Each structure stands twice: as C-alpha cells, then as structure tokens.
Structure 1
C-alpha cells in the first residue's frame, strides 16, 4: 500500500504485514490450509509500537517469533524493519485462537501446526 497523506505507510498496514508474515510462514511450512483446513486462527488481540515511519518504496522485512504457545492459542511477536534502516521500525504482537472452521469453538493445535510454531519459540 502506498504512502498516506503524511508521507508514510498508514498504521493499519503494519497489522496487515503482521498477518502476512504469520500466515505466509504457516502456509510455507504446510501447517495451514486457509481455504479448506478444518482449523483456522481467529485474531483476538493485537498491539503495535511504532518507532520509525516506514514509507513506500522501502522494502520491509518482518522478523517472527512465538512468544507463547498454548493449547489452542498462540501469541505471535513481529518486528518490522526497513531495508534502509538499522533499527526496528515497529514491533507488535497478535494472538490467534485456533478454532474449528464450522463451529468456531477452540480446538487443540493440530500436530503439524504445533510443530511449525514450536520452531519459532
């Protein structure tokens, strides 16, 4: 997304980058089928701290780790970095609760998902 009227990427885009980093990793690991999987993650909490503005056309890199791995929930922690900067431009987290796609009730993390997430702890 291009820069907003203030000359930087709007704050809501950072949350989109968080989501892309997490889901991209899980899909890449074969741990998440966003179209047909029986289990999906619902975001129940988000937060972001902004330290520097990010602006198009910078290339943005995301660092990802798991801060907490529960029975049916995960706290993802994400750092965003500009390719032209030396420090974290933004850091935040979001929490997914994994639920049955049909009932939307929490379920234990499937083994493949737990294994992919454990690698980020």
Structure 2
C-alpha cells in the first residue's frame, strides 16, 4: 500500500501564520501541542474572515469532537508556517477539515492534521444544522 501525502496544491486555501518564540520547546522546535493551535487558528480565522463566525455572539458554533496530527518535519522560530485548509466531509451538522502545515515554499507538508467540528446551539450545546451561510463557505473549501 502506497501512502500518498497531499501537497500544497491539494488545499483550497493557504493561510500564513507566523510562529512565536514561545512556541518552541526545550529541543528548539515548535512543540507538538502548538501544531493543534495552528490548526485551530487556520480554521477559525477562515470562518471569522468569511463573516460566518463571531466567537462571542454566533448562536451556532462548531465544537471540536475529533482531531489528529501526523508529524512529518520540524517547524521552528522565526518561521512563517503556511496552513493549507480543505473540507473533506460536509454533513448536516458536522464538518471534517484537513490541514497541512507547510514551510514557506515547500510542497511537502511538515504536518498533516484533521479537525471535526459538530455544530451546536451556543446555549443548549445540542447539535444543530450548519447555518446556510456557513455551509456556503465550507462548500467553497471542499476539494
């Protein structure tokens, strides 16, 4: 079985995210937990900039119910990470994002991750259909 990794061009959007000095661990590379923060930043910044998420007032929000990461190369500081974002599964109340973290100019990812959001009512925390405006944004990210 051949394991084919996605490349930069396999993602719908590429977002630059600078690393910070505090992202480094004692070994001098970006700590593994920071990769998850980069995933979260890529997804939520995309939704906020598209105008479909206000983190303090949106009546419907996406909660992370599953996440994972495959580490392939070290990232460091100071370095700008380019986060590739795509949607691979879009259900009635859930979405699966895949995120590739790339060093500037590289086609092969330093890390591959995924995030599953289940959309819920902010107050009741019960699953609810993805709002239509959000669905349109997510469809544009589907590859």
TM-score (norm 1): 0.96
Count the aligned residue pairs: 121
Aligned to 2:18: none
Q: Unpaired segments of 5 or more residues in structure 2?
A: 1-21
Asked if the contact 2:23/2:34 (under 8 Å) is kept, the reply is no
Spell out, residue by residue over 1:4-42, the C-alpha distance to the aligned partner (whole angstroms, 9 max, x if none): 101101000000000000000001111111110100111
Q: Deviations over 1:79-98 (max 9, x none)?
A: 00111644210001010000
Q: Which runs of 4+ in 1 moved over 6 A?
A: none
**CA–CA distance in structure 2, aligned partners of residues 22 and 59 of structure 1:** 17
Contact 1:50–1:90 under 8 Å retained in 2: yes
- Provide structure 1 residue ranges, at least 5 long, that are not aligned to the other structure: none
Q: Aligned-pair RMSD on alpha carbons? A: 1.0
CA contact (8 A) 2:67 2:115 kept: yes
TM-score by length of 2: 0.82
Aligned to 2:87, what secondary structure does the other structure show?
strand
Aligned mate of 1:10, from 3, 26, 31: 31
Q: Tell me how far apart the structure 2 counterparts of residues 29 and 97 of structure 1 sit (CA, whole Å).
A: 19
